[in-house]
Amino acid sequence: MTGAYSERFWPSLRAAFCLAIVVFLIAPMVIVAIVSLSSAPFLTFPPPGLSLQWYRKLSGSSVWLDAIATSASIMLPSAAVATAAGTAAAVGLARARIPGAGLIASLIMAPMIVPVIITAAAMLGAFRAWGLQGTRVGLILAHTTLAIPYVVFTVLAAMRLVDDRLESAALTLGATRWRAFWRITFPLILPAVLSGLLFAMVISFDELVVSIFLSSPTVRPVTVQMWSDVRGDVDPTIAAIGTLLLVFSVSALLLETALNRQRARPLVAEAAATGPEATR
Amino acid sequence: MRMGLLQLNSVSKIFDTITAVDRISFALAEGEFLSLLGPSGSGKTTTLQMIAGLTHPSSGEILLAGRPIGPLPPYKRDIGMVFQNYALFPHLTVARNIAFPLEMRRMRRAEIARRVAAVLKLVDLSGFEGRYPQQLSGGQQQRVALARAIVFEPKLLLMDEPLGALDKKLREQMQLEIKHLHKRLGVSIVYVTHDQDEALVMSDRIGVFNQGRLEQIGTVEELYEQPTTRFVAEFVGETNVIRGEVRDGANGCCILETAEGPLRGRARQAVTTGSAALISVRPERLRLAAGQPARSDGDGIQGHICEVIYMGRLRKYVLDTAGGQKLIVARQVAGVEANSFAVGDAVVATFQPEDAVVLQDAHEHGDK
């Protein structure tokens, strides 16, 4: 009796719990998206009617357009540099026998673990001394540092799946190390490199804490602009820009998932083909 | 004597504190098929990698066609290599895999296409150009790896346990195919394996590795008939080893005092009277007779049969000897069951002194 009861009770409790978490996580985003379409002149939920007025206002606002342009001009170079540097670091860590490789890896990963506020304060001090505080270059450098661990992490995982005998084989077949990398290793880790690139872009575009410390009135990314707006007079423009950011991040994530699926397929096929023989 | 294609002079490889390869020397003639045979971890793969240039010797010298290749990176050595797991490039088709070494040599497209088609025909894989490695069976992948390693016509081909992942039947078929290919192309091959049958079937000569040292190198017959160490005697084929003390050794014939009584055998190296030694007799060189020894046709070891194993062509008898050890005797099964024994029978095993080899006891160090 109690057995049958608990058999039904626990699964339904678990389902309810999961549902609550999903609602808790997704509801704010959905509400922001709805509010951004509000016809009311102020933040209110539910909105009295639907309108695209806030998106129209956004597209006419030089402050917001400038902020978006600034964010993009920081995101693109920092994501590119982080991807290149992070990929190189991952390849080096996975292949070369360097003394202190573990230490190097933990230093690279540090920005992921150290509280952001500490990183931000440290960068503020250093960049002020170097004259980089409040400049675009400063923000690009800062975002690059923050994004590198994500790239290294992703690419390192992919490198571990690439048999290093493939590179040895390429060498015996007449390829230099450089050509072996570009012809063999790189195509095999490319999906992970692209994932890393997307992560780096999202991290830069969404980054607030370090950006607050390093931005200036002339170089002000979207997130910092939102932060200062939220504290002043709030109208649904902020919801519109928030929705745009959300769409950007979600698309990046969906793209990354698609890339992952593509990457997993040939590896699974290969494992299936060599599986029974590998037991030798 | 044919010209030496490859020569290793006292080559060693030391990883941290472990000596993986210990002062190995051998020469490979042009067109020769040499197998490096030994248990896993005996240094044979490391030796192969040093020849390929994938790892560098800690000391010693490797010569290819008379020239030292120490400073040459692998991509300038022009040595083909087949890897244990084939190491086919998973993102390239069969044709692109095989074309890879030709592309690296900047050959013209038409020439590449011609060569790829020719080598695919050679390994019997025409029609598979567009497949990806994971769409092939193990045996087909093996052929692609072989085709890729020979398409640029290297003088020397290295193979690292290339058939290890295949099942027994396919392995035997591939052994013959590789052997035929070797004859046709005239390429020299250094072939690493831990499977003695494979080495026996394929090789002109075999080098037996043990704990980083090359114990003995020679033809199959030399290794089988004149092993120089206990390890070689036991690793190449099956053998019975009996411990004893040298009583008299002269003219290559040596008498050992053992727990089984005095036994005679051939001694290749000089032995000192009174020193400990071993005598090795192959199971098929022992003959069995019922009852008491008849010393006239050789030495005799007395014992009881404790196990009979029927193996089709052969019947194996395991004896408990008077001296307290196990002795394996293999006899051909004749049509009639005239010469068979049963468990518990008292027998005497005899052999000709020229069929027994006297070896030094303990692990000898130093060079041969």
Chain A residue with minimal CA distance to B167?
A277
- Percentage of residues in chain B with pLDDT exceeding 70? 93
CA distance, residue A185 to nearest chain B CA (Å):
9
Domain A62-266 listed as CATH 2.20.25.10: no
Mean residue pLDDT of chain B comes to 88
Helices marked H in chain B: 44-52, 94-104, 109-122, 138-150, 168-185, 196-202, 220-225, 230-235
Q: What is the mean pLDDT of residues B19-29?
A: 93
Q: How many CA atoms lie within 13 A of B7 on its CB side?
A: 11
CA separation for the pair A76, B189 (Å, rounded)? 53
Q: How confident is the model at residue B36 (pLDDT cuts 50, 70, 90)?
A: very high
Cα–Cα distance measured from residue A200 to residue A145, given in angstroms and rounded to the nearest whole number: 10
Portion of chain A with pLDDT greater than 70, in percent: 91
For testing contact with chain A, the best of B75, B135, B141 (most A CBs within 10 A): B75
Give the C-alpha separation, B310 to B331, whole Å: 10
Choose the closest CB to B91 out of A165, A187, A273. Answer: A187
Distance from CA of B96 to the nearest CA of A (A): 11
**Interchain pair B91, A266: CB under 8 A:** yes
B11 close contact with A: CB closer than 8 A = no
Angle at B168 between CA B189 and CA B317, to 5 degrees: 105
Facing residue for B75 by CB, picked from A176, A184, A280: A176
Average pLDDT over residues B340-360: 86
Question: pLDDT tens digits for B179-203?
Answer: 999 999 999 999 999 998 899 889 9
| Averaged pLDDT of chain A | 87
- A51 near A236, Cβ under 8 Å? no
- pLDDT at residue B167 above 80? yes
The reported pTM is: 0.80
Alpha-carbon span B140 to A273, nearest angstrom? 12
Strand order of the β-sheet with B67-68 is B18-29, B4-15, B59-64, B67-68
**pLDDT tens-digit profile of A215-273?**
998 899 999 998 988 877 777 888 888 899 899 988 988 988 887 776 555 544 444 44
How far apart CA A252 and CA A272 sit, in angstroms, is 31
Residue in chain B lying closest to A163 (CA): B87
Whether B78 has its CB under 8 Å from any CB of chain A: the answer is yes
Of A168, A175, A187, the CB nearest to B87: A168
User: B339: pLDDT confidence band, cut at 50, 70 and 90?
Assistant: low
Asked whether the ipTM of the predicted complex exceeds the cut of 0.90, the reply is: no
